[in-house]
A and B are shown apart, each in its own frame.
Chain A
């Protein structure tokens, strides 16, 4: 149970940063933290007590293995997360060149 609570705290840290920070780079970092909390959650739900890595050994018949599918999903999701983070940082750098600031309060051309 404690791991789920820790995972939830990680999510809250990310959410807090996303809402309160004004710096573009810090917003990107907060979003990444939030994403990683859900990756961690995916790994946790695939874990089975006293299970080992899912490499099937035919001699051992009553060995317990952890669920490999969430691990495969997390690998894919991490790659996607990397792509979004790279894209966000690229846009943040471009914004800095245009506005000469990372402060989100001064980047407010679009309204209404």
Chain B
């Protein structure tokens, strides 16, 4: 039964995008109703699958082509524990962002295009996380990023267009590198199925060709995930997009098309090697430290948040890299599992609190039309809901208990100490302190200082749909800290960690040999 549910995650948002373009012109308000409804349905469906998934993987073969002589010829969609976590956060943040957009996007023209592009972006991301085939993954990735190029330029002012052009050039280079790497993999293995490639790589000896391909893939998907040497496009693109889209880009897109693919390919396709793991750890550490240092001097709220995204993604990459290194060495499997679980936990948490922070920034911009921190102040009186939720998110991102960010950072630091990477553990604590300082500045200048803005009419709180989305995310910041309990963590994140730790099991469920 579960197997036949898989295509719904791709088909439903795709159909919605086309329906909006066709029917949206004739039925007033159609796009506003259908998008949140469809995404709410997907959220419920993915939660249902997550709770009923007991370490099983489900596969769906497109067209029903059976393997011939144990060689899979069909395109597979695979749904396992790791995919489900991503599906939940994509649909959840997508639903809240689209509900928030009902009030926010009213000031723009062509609402139909906005909702249709949002649905297309979600189609692409769901496809990327479900695909079990390298080339199919590339196609879905392009669907997601082309929709995001258009959404970044949605304001069509000078800054938006410039940011979108920059994003597209760097995204184009990334796509080129990824396609080249896929071509090289096809050249070597004559197959595109991830599980099949993994079997072939296990039976042949690793050589420089493989290392070259791995480095190409790291740089390609690293560009999509904006890890530090490749980060130039992210602050521009994420700060220029409309706020609900910034929440989607920062909260979900860089994870689904960047981090997810890196983790999936390096755990389940390639054989873990020590050099590559050290490279991944280095990239993670660089992103974590340099991202936060670049964030300190920012006065534009959305730019500040965008730089913090780079830094927080550094935590995820660092933690997962430690897990990969320990697996490559074949020592301490429990610590490796803890490190991977910590990374995935932080990824989920980051989606929630960074999404919330971007929605807060959007609410402020909606009311006083500026993003400059120096021109705000005293908003806690006029906008109590925005102020309260942003305080929750700020405490969460800077790691203050009892919010979720504290627990995931704690797990990452414990894992780093147990793996005897004392320097990395120290850096993680250090970055967390700077993050706290940076968000204290944000809180003080935006909500607590004396008024710096000048408008004639009185500032009101934002409309209900915006408050609703922000409040739900604020509650989720608290609820997700429940994942810190080992029992609940094993229930939710356990299947994902199992999939990543046992590459053999992943191939077995797909090829069935």
Q: Are B187 and A45 in contact (CB under 8 A)?
A: yes
B179 close to chain A: CB less than 8 A: yes
Q: Are A91 and B139 in contact (CB under 8 A)?
A: no
Which residues on the B side are within 8 Å of A107 (C-beta)?
A: 162, 165
Residue in contact with B165 in the complex, picked from A67, A77, A88, CB distance below 8 Å? A88
Q: Are B153 and A94 in contact (CB under 8 A)?
A: yes
Q: Are B183 and A87 in contact (CB under 8 A)?
A: no
Q: Are B163 and A110 in contact (CB under 8 A)?
A: yes
Classify the secondary structure of A's interface with B: helix
Output the nearest chain A residue to B139 by Cβ-Cβ distance: A76
B298 close to chain A: CB less than 8 A: yes
B71 CB to closest chain A CB (Å) equals 13
B146-188 to A contact mask, C-beta < 8 Å, 1/0: 1001100100111101111110110111011001100100110
What bracket does the count of chain A residues touching chain B fall in?
20 to 34
Output the nearest chain B residue to A46 by Cβ-Cβ distance: B186
Output the nearest chain A residue to B165 by Cβ-Cβ distance: A91
> Could you tell me which A residues sit within 8 Å of B by CB distance?
18, 24, 27, 31, 34-35, 38, 41-42, 45, 67, 69-70, 73, 76-77, 80, 83-84, 87-88, 91-92, 94-95, 98-99, 107-110, 112
Q: How distant is the Cα of A20 from the Cα of B440 in the complex, in angstroms?
A: 43
The residue in A35, A38, A110 that gathers the most chain B C-beta atoms within 10 A of its C-beta is A110
Q: Are A38 and B162 in contact (CB under 8 A)?
A: no
Q: Are A112 and B298 in contact (CB under 8 A)?
A: yes
A87 CB to closest chain B CB (Å) equals 6
Q: Are B176 and A91 in contact (CB under 8 A)?
A: no
B135 close to chain A: CB less than 8 A: yes
Q: Are A94 and B156 in contact (CB under 8 A)?
A: yes
Could you jot down 19 A-B contacts, CB within 8 Å? A18-B173, A27-B169, A34-B176, A35-B172, A38-B183, A69-B186, A77-B179, A80-B142, A84-B142, A87-B146, A88-B165, A88-B168, A88-B169, A91-B149, A91-B161, A99-B158, A107-B162, A112-B298, A112-B303
B236 close to chain A: CB less than 8 A: yes
Residue in contact with A41 in the complex, picked from B161, B180, B298, CB distance below 8 Å? B180
Q: How distant is the Cα of A92 from the Cα of B493 in the complex, in angstroms?
A: 44
Q: How distant is the Cα of A84 from the Cα of B156 in the complex, in angstroms?
A: 18
Residue in contact with B175 in the complex, picked from A27, A84, A109, CB distance below 8 Å? A84
B298 CB to closest chain A CB (Å) equals 7
